[in-house]
Structure 1
Amino acid sequence: MPSHARPVRRPAARGPLSAHVLAVLEGAHGPAPQIPRSPDPDDLHLALHLCYELHYGGLPGVPDDLEWDPHLIAFRRVLERWFEADLFDRVGPPVPSQDVRAALPELIRHDDGPSLSSWMVEHGTLTAMREFVVHRSSYQLKEADPHSFAIPRLPRAAKAGLVSIQAGEYGVEHPDHVMHSELFARTMRDLGLDDRPNAYLDQLPATTLANGNLVSMFGLNRRWRGALVGHLSVFEMTSVEPMGRYSAALERMGASPVARRFYDVHVMADAVHEVVAVEEMAGPLADEEPELAGDILFGARAVIASEGAFAQHLLDAFAEGRSSLLEPVAA
Structure 2
Amino acid sequence: MLLPAPRGPLSERLAHLLRRDQDGESAQLVREAAEADDDPDPLSDLDHQLSLWILNELSFRGFEDVDDRWEFAPEVAGLRAILEAPFEKALREVCADWLARAQSYEGDVAEQIFALTEDFDEGPDLSRHVRRDATVDQVRDFLRERSIYHLKESDPHTFVIPRLSGPAKAHLVELQYDEYGGGRTGHLHHELFAGTLRAAGLDDAYGAYLGEVGAETLAASNAMALFCLHRRLRGAAMGHLAAFEATSSIPCRRIAAGLRRVGFGDEAAHYYDEHVEADAVHEQLAAREICGTMVSSGDVDRSEVLFGAVACLVLDARQSEVLMSRWETTSARGESLAAGAGA
Per the TM superposition, whether the score is higher than 0.5 is yes
Q: Does the Cα contact within 8 Å between 1:21 and 1:72 map onto a contact in 2?
A: no
User: Which residue, out of 91, 94, 99, partners 1:90?
Assistant: 94
Shift of 1:69: 1.0
Shift of 1:195: 1.1
User: Which residue, out of 88, 95, 111, partners 1:102?
Assistant: 111
1:85-131, Cα deviation, whole Å (9 max, x unpaired):
11122012978969312211121111002210001111011111111
Q: Greater RCO between the two (CA within 8 Å, min separation 6)?
A: 1
1:210-261, Cα deviation, whole Å (9 max, x unpaired):
1111101111111110000000001111111000000000111111211110
Q: Can you give the 5+ residue segments of structure 1 that lack an aligned partner in the other structure?
A: 1-7, 324-331
- The one-letter amino acid of 2:27's match is G
Q: Does the Cα contact within 8 Å between 2:2 and 2:63 map onto a contact in 1?
A: no
Q: Does the Cα contact within 8 Å between 2:216 and 2:318 map onto a contact in 1?
A: yes
Specify the alignment match of 1:243 in structure 2.
252
Q: Does the Cα contact within 8 Å between 1:250 and 1:259 map onto a contact in 2?
A: yes
Specify the alignment match of 1:229 in structure 2.
238
- The one-letter amino acid of 2:192's match is L
Whether 1:215 and 2:224 are equivalent positions in the alignment is yes
Specify the alignment match of 1:14 in structure 2.
7
Q: Does the Cα contact within 8 Å between 2:10 and 2:48 map onto a contact in 1?
A: yes
Change (3 A) 1:11 1:291: closer
Shift of 1:198: 1.4
Task: Measure the CA separation in 1 of the matches of 2:249 and 2:187.
Answer: 19
Shift of 1:141: 0.6
Task: Measure the CA separation in 2 of the matches of 1:136 and 1:171.
Answer: 19
User: Which residue, out of 43, 64, 71, partners 2:68?
Assistant: 64
1:149-204, Cα deviation, whole Å (9 max, x unpaired):
11000121111121111111000187x76100000001111111111111111111
User: Which residue, out of 293, 296, 300, partners 2:305?
Assistant: 296
* Higher gyration radius (CA): 2
- The one-letter amino acid of 2:118's match is R
- The one-letter amino acid of 1:159's match is K
Change (3 A) 1:123 1:200: same
Question: What TM-score do the two structures reach when normalised by structure 2?
Answer: 0.87
Specify the alignment match of 1:78 in structure 2.
82
Task: Measure the CA separation in 2 of the matches of 1:51 and 1:88.
Answer: 21
CA RMSD of aligned residues (A): 2.0
Specify the alignment match of 2:46 in structure 1.
42
Q: Can you give the 5+ residue segments of structure 2 that lack an aligned partner in the other structure?
A: 333-343
Q: Does the Cα contact within 8 Å between 1:120 and 1:129 map onto a contact in 2?
A: yes
- The one-letter amino acid of 1:144's match is S
**Bigger helix fraction:** 2
Shift of 1:24: 1.9
What SS does the corresponding residue of 1:79 show, helix, strand or coil?
helix
The count of residues paired between Structure 1 and Structure 2 equals: 315
What SS does the corresponding residue of 2:322 show, helix, strand or coil?
helix
User: Which residue, out of 156, 174, 182, partners 1:172?
Assistant: 182
- The one-letter amino acid of 1:167's match is Y
Further displaced range: 13-22 or 145-154: 13-22
User: Which residue, out of 162, 179, 197, partners 2:172?
Assistant: 162
- The one-letter amino acid of 1:35's match is A
Q: Does the Cα contact within 8 Å between 2:148 and 2:207 map onto a contact in 1?
A: yes
Task: Measure the CA separation in 2 of the matches of 1:221 and 1:232.
Answer: 15
